[in-house]
Amino acid sequence: MLLGAIADDFTGATDLCSTLVRGGMRTVQLIGVPSPDTPAPDADAVVVALKSRTIPAGEAVAQSLAALDWLRRFGTRQVFFKYCSTFDSTDAGNIGPVADALVEALGCGFALACPAFPTNARTVYQGHLFVGSVLLNESGMEHHPLTPMTDPNLVRVLSRQTDGTVGLVPFATVVQGAGAIRKAMTALKEQGRRYAIVDAVTDADLLAIGEAAESHALITGGSGVAMGLPANFRRAGLLGTHDAADLPATPGHAAVLAGSCSRATLAQIGFAREHMPLLALDPLATPDADALVAEARNWIAGKLGRTPIAIAASATPDAVAALQAKLGRDQAGALVEDALSRIAADLVQGGVRNLVVAGGETSGAVVSRLGVHSLRIGAEIDPGVPWTYAEGSGPAMRLALKSGNFGARDFFVKAFAGLEA
């Protein structure tokens, strides 16, 4: 294991995995802290996906240290702590406390911090985080319900979360390249700084920062700053020549399961309706998970094969609001998630081995119902949504877990176009 990463949420973890795969590292995402007897996957990089962004800081630290322990057991050469590109945190954490604990456990005394992700318009200049053309605290993030970001100055933000001190590697240095960045970071460490916020405005900056951090035990940041890491391992002769995105074949049936009600997913369902058999469940007319599962089971019978079928609970905002008014917001979501995850289990039981799931919460419910522990990350179908090879308590299969708003209109059709199954 060359790189061992700890991510504070699931989709962020997948994002990091895709970045590493694009760089040529075979990458596996593990769901939750691996149990001590979990063997190391055959991969160059392993990303442990936690849900630690907004839990109490003490718990986030405990889970992150447990993940670190497991990663170090397999001799990981470098550790990456992945957080959001908008530095989602509060004065109580969890970025500072988790980073502090990792710095101490690794005995490295210093780590860079760089959330920049220019592809998604997150840039850092003079330590200030911009989202597009506006500062973080004017981007809407100041109203975030759990982690309101009211200060765009990351040196100050991180300083409030740590008993260590925070310096800055400014853009004027970053633009001079890896050598200058390395020197600046060494100087800050010698001055006793525990962290350096490192400016980055373009992908070229991120590549230089990655190169400068080649010998660092710990790197912290968004998935952007991981862009430069595969090249370090390649230069050291540690990466093979394999296609990192290659996944084992999963002969079997194909299906789509949609629980997202986002605009993008609704458009994708509209498109899919023209190209594959599609069952639209109506949880408002049938607010009963058992009945929805039974309806799907009857409909599925005889339809499974290599040609994908689709089952969707997705509905327009009005219909979602109506069900929420009837059952309460949480109950409505839980009912549909329960039904869809049981339908997923039925599909697998019926021989489906290539499954696209639409919706973040829906994906969480499906993955947990199917007992999936690990996802080997393959090629992206559309930006941010890779096919993965899922293993766990059930049969190995391909899963594509799509956040509601991701993907082009033809996503559900395109997903299966390249499958050899």
Minimum distance between the CB of residue 265 and ligand ADP, rounded to whole angstroms? 6
**Residue 180 or 327 with smaller CB distance to ligand ADP:** 327
Minimum distance from residue 44 beta carbon to ligand ADP (Å): 29
Binding site for ligand ADP (CB under 6 A): 259-262, 265, 283, 313-315, 319-320, 323, 332-333, 336-337, 359-362, 403-404
Q: How far is the CB of 84 from ligand ADP (least distance, A)?
A: 16
Residue partners of 374: CB distance under 8 A and separation at least 6: 28, 29, 30, 31, 41, 390, 391, 392
CA dihedral for 260, 122, 148, 143, sign (positive or negative): negative
Q: Which is nearer to ligand ADP, 30 or 261 (CB)?
A: 261
Nearer to ligand ADP, 32 or 384 (CB): 384
CB of 406 to ligand ADP, least distance (A): 8
Least separation, in Å, of the C-beta of 269 and ligand ADP? 11
| Nearest CB to ligand ADP, comparing residues 67 and 381 | 381
Whose Cβ is closer to ligand ADP: residue 28's or residue 399's?
399
Q: Where do the H-state alpha helices sit in 243-283?
A: 263-273
Which residue number places its CB atom closest to ligand ADP?
Answer: 404
The sheet with strand 128-131 has its strands ordered as 122-125, 128-131, 134-135
Using DSSP bridges, classify how beta strands 278-280 and 309-312 pair: parallel, antiparallel or unpaired. parallel
> Coil, helix or strand for 382?
strand
Q: Specify the DSSP class assigned to residue 93.
A: B
Our CB check for ligand ADP shows the closer of 152 and 407 to be 407
Contact 330, 317 (CB under 8 A): no
Judged by beta carbon, residue 96 or residue 360, the one nearer ligand ADP is 360
Do 313 and 285 touch, CB atoms closer than 8 A?
A: no
The whole-angstrom separation of Cα 162 and Cα 194 is 9
Antiparallel, parallel or unpaired: β 128-131 and 122-125: antiparallel
* 319 to 286, 322, 336: CA distances (angstroms): 12, 5, 13
Residue 88 Cβ vs ligand ADP, minimum distance, rounded to whole Å: 17
Radius of gyration of the chain (CA): 22
Q: CB of 361: closest distance to ligand ADP in angstroms?
A: 3
Contact yes or no for 395/297 (Cβ under 8 A): no
**Between residues 31 and 313, which has the closer beta carbon with respect to ligand ADP?**
313
Report d(CA 128, CA 261) in Å as an integer: 34
**Cβ-based nearer residue to ligand ADP, 130 or 406:** 406
* Nearest approach, Cβ of residue 335 and ligand ADP (Å): 7
Beta bridge partners of 375: 29, 390
Task: Round to whole Å and give the CA distance between 373 and 391.
Answer: 6
- Residue 85 or residue 363: which is nearer to ligand ADP going by CB? 363
Least CB distance from residue 366 to ligand ADP, whole Å? 10
Distinct helix (H) and strand (E) counts, the chain:
14, 18
Work out how close the CB of 313 gets to ligand ADP at its nearest, in angstroms, rounded to a whole number.
Answer: 4
DSSP H helices in 107-177: 154-159, 171-174
